[in-house]
Amino acid sequence: IKGCEAQKWDPTCSSRCPICMNNGICHEDTGECICPPGFMGKTCEKACGANTFGRTCEETCKENSGCKYYMFCLPDPYGCSCAAGWMGLECDKECKPGFYGSDCKLKCNCHSRGTCDRFKGCICSLGWHGLQCEKEGKARQCNQMVAISYHPLNSSKFKPFCIATGKPLPKSEEFKLLKQDGTVLKPSLLITSNHSEAMFTINQIQPRDTGTWVCSVQTVAGMTEKLFQVTVKVPPVPQYAPRLTDSGHNFLIIDINAGLHLGDGPVVSTKLLYKPAKRYQSWMSVEVKGTTKRLDNLEPKTEYQFCVQLSRQGEGGKGHPGPEASFTTAALGLPPPEGLILLLKSMTSLNLSWHPLTPRTEDDIHIEVERKSVNDNGPVNSVMSILKKLILREDAICFQDPEKEGRKEWMYARIFCVCLFIGIPPEPYNIKFSNTTDTSSVISWTTPEGRSISSIIIGYKIYGKAEYNHINIMIKNTTITQYHLKGLEPNTVYQVQISAQNNIGLSNPNTSSELKTLPETKALYKSKGDKMLLIAIFGSAGMTCITVLLAFLIILKLKRTNIQHRMAQAFQNVREEPTVQFNAGTFTLSRKAKSSPDPTVYPVLEWNDIKFQDVIGEGNFGQVLKARIKKDGLRMDAAIKRMKEYASKDDHRDFAGELEVLCKLGHHPNIINLLGACEHQGYLYLAIEYAPHGNLLEFLRKSRVLETDPAFAIANSTASTLSSQQLLHFAADVARGMDYLSQKQFIHQDLVARNILVGENYVAKIADFGLSRGQEIYVKKTMGRLPVRWMAIESLNYSVYTTNSDV
């Protein structure tokens, strides 16, 4: 059956077909000639010969009788026929003289002394060719594939060549390259001389492309193809990181450790990549011959990152760098100690101190102290004592890094002390007072040079008292030569004495110096005034904060009261909505009086029994959250619905109406059932069954793998992951649920796929009863929102809803 008229093809039947010879038929989708069995070529002009067939005439009938009794069926619109040279219902009769081809339907009209062959048609004499030997000259030559050229493959660009001969020479569009997965490629370049050379370009070949590829060429003179094997190699990657063999402050010796690697070999190149670890710097590389590499001219005490890159022969043979490792060069040396202080401890000993050492890495640092008399030219006294990892000799101080393996790297710091005076220190002199006020004064002094002083002691008392009321102030840093005395009494004379102290003892007291403070100022009243001003400021700020807090609490209370009022009004509106009767045939509306309804009774959930988890849905005015609830002593999953703060009065009415509908509907397996409700801080929380598979609309969309995962769809020959039985099961579930609503005389008004939820065991359940009504006939009077795209005709025209309006 053909969809296009004769000699037309493509989806619009507007393209013209080529002229297909020997009863070939044009394919209406591809525009190519479908050749009868025993013929080939672009226009089916070339005959294969006795008992041969196939698109390149490479197939033969193996029986002694040849292709007798063979029936060949080709793609539509060709159908089925006998082989060339045979006809009849069982393809067992030879062609009559003068006829040839499949089913012997073609008649030979040979010119120029040509003879008729029942398999090939006209056999032309020398110098003539054509279907009926009507063309003078040399006959067309069938194509031959001379060679296929390609190089060893890595995961990179691939450029195979196909070389073919024939008359006429093949054109670019007549070459095809078929990958192992059936993908058809066209040539990117054609070079012609006495043959045609077609080059194909694959930008990135992968290991999955390994397999048998086919290069084919088809012209009017015939068709030929050649198979070749493609093997894609994977560049090598080291399995393990490099290792450290030896190190110094400016060099590292690295073991490449690349004996085991992933991917394919042989490895023709090995590079060591490295860079400083804590600086933004590009990788540097060095070629490695052997298993180790020494890197010189590195920076001391610096961490470097290393990795190894392997390569195999051919383009794209460079592999990814292997695992990384970090190594650090050694330190160049240690700095000398700072802040050396030498103090007299006794008549025969000195006390040497220095600033705390700067924290370093995990190096174990030893400190050695050596002593040598200035006027002694003999050898250094090497008496040693060890205390808490400190090596104390007796002269100069030096640092040693033990990681140098015997190559001691010393940094010396010397201090000289000349002890001319052994005994108690002299007293300070040149005592002065400055910046004296009514309660304080700055005292300064001078100490003799070249004396051993460990601290300064200041003592003072009120003048006229029998004894000094010593208030001693000890200053251990002897470089400080002044002190600020505070807490003195106004308009009072003090006697001040300053003494020096060392390990031997305290100096003789110096002559007392007098200090008189200034009279008391009137700042007291100002201070009291400042305190009153401060109290007033804090009091005013406190009252403001209290006022703002009270206003906030009042607004919050009013807001909560307003929400509760709106909720109550919504319940009232749902119950007091008028009922209207519809009389069939007359279209008369009659209002029925309705008695005051009983309050809605629903199962109550305690607020502490609800544990909220995730938000699973959100609209303009409402929100649905997944939660774990406790009902009748059992823990279960539930969906909690609630309204947002800015929801309108109509939204609250619909929400309250949904609770009332669920209470009256009761339980059914094909509707989302009510688990309970909870009112907390003026908000109503509605707990319904949880559907783990979401709504039916999204569930069906995800099943369309032809859109979401075309590769999976093609591989499995399917457009959907759902069977017809599953789809019918969903439809039956919805029908049972709607039948139950109809029995209960409820109108849903919003039955769409997004309001059908898929629960456990893939059971469809009807949900969202926000627009439902519990009357047999309902007439819409208010201005609420309605789903007009799927409303019934009577609902659109007259705002009338019945149980039939949902279907």
What would you report as the CA-atom Rg of the chain, rounded to the nearest whole angstrom? 52
- Phi, psi for residue 311 in degrees, rounded to 5: -140, 150
- Tell me how far apart the alpha carbons of residues 795 and 357 are, in angstroms, rounded to a whole number: 91
- Contact of 143 with 223, CB cutoff 8 Å: yes
Alpha carbon distance, N-terminus to C-terminus of the chain: 40
DSSP per residue, 231-256: -BPPPPEESS--EEEEE-SS-EEEE-
Q: What angle do CA 666, 670, 676 make, to 5 degrees?
A: 40
Give the residue from 490, 513, 519, 515 showing the smallest Cα distance to 434: 515
CA distances, 421 to each of 83, 451, 626, 635, 728 (Å): 133, 7, 89, 91, 114
The DSSP H or E segment spanning 367 is strand 366-369
Active site residue 438: no
Q: In terms of DSSP bridges, do strands 756-758 and 764-766 run parallel, antiparallel, or are they unpaired?
A: antiparallel
Which residue matches tokens 């370049």?
189
526: CB partners within 8 A, 6+ apart = none
Beta strands in 502-559 (DSSP E): 513-516
Q: Is 641 annotated as a binding residue?
A: yes
Structure-block tokens of residue 725 = 């039985």
Name the maximum alpha-carbon separation found in the chain: 162
Which residue matches tokens 């020494």?
294
The 3-state secondary structure of 737-796 reads: HHHHHHHCCCECCCCCHHHEEECHHHCEEECCCCCCECCCEEECCCCCCCCHHHCCHHHH
Q: In terms of DSSP bridges, do strands 325-328 and 303-312 run parallel, antiparallel, or are they unpaired?
A: antiparallel
Cite the DSSP H helix spans in 255-388.
none
Q: In terms of DSSP bridges, do strands 366-369 and 390-392 run parallel, antiparallel, or are they unpaired?
A: parallel
Catalytic residue among 117, 750, 768, 806: 750
Q: What angle do CA 44, 47, 53 make, to 5 degrees?
A: 90
Which residue matches tokens 């010593």?
470
- Contact of 639 with 616, CB cutoff 8 Å: yes
Cis preceding-peptide flag for 37 (omega within 30 of 0): no
746: CB partners within 8 A, 6+ apart = 661, 664, 665, 769, 772, 773, 774, 803
Give the residue from 169, 230, 229, 219 showing the smallest Cα distance to 197: 169
- Tell me how far apart the alpha carbons of residues 99 and 428 are, in angstroms, rounded to a whole number: 143
Structure-block tokens of residue 273 = 């990549």
Q: Count the helix, strand and coil residues of the chain and give each as a percent rounded to the nearest 5.
A: 15, 35, 50
- Contact of 44 with 33, CB cutoff 8 Å: yes
Look at phi and psi of residue 345 and say left if phi exceeds 0, alpha if psi is from -120 to 50, else beta: alpha
Q: In the 8-state DSSP scheme, what is residue 320?
A: P
Which residues are part of a known binding site?
Answer: 641
Residues acting as catalytic residues: 750
Which residues are part of a known binding site for ATP?
Answer: 641
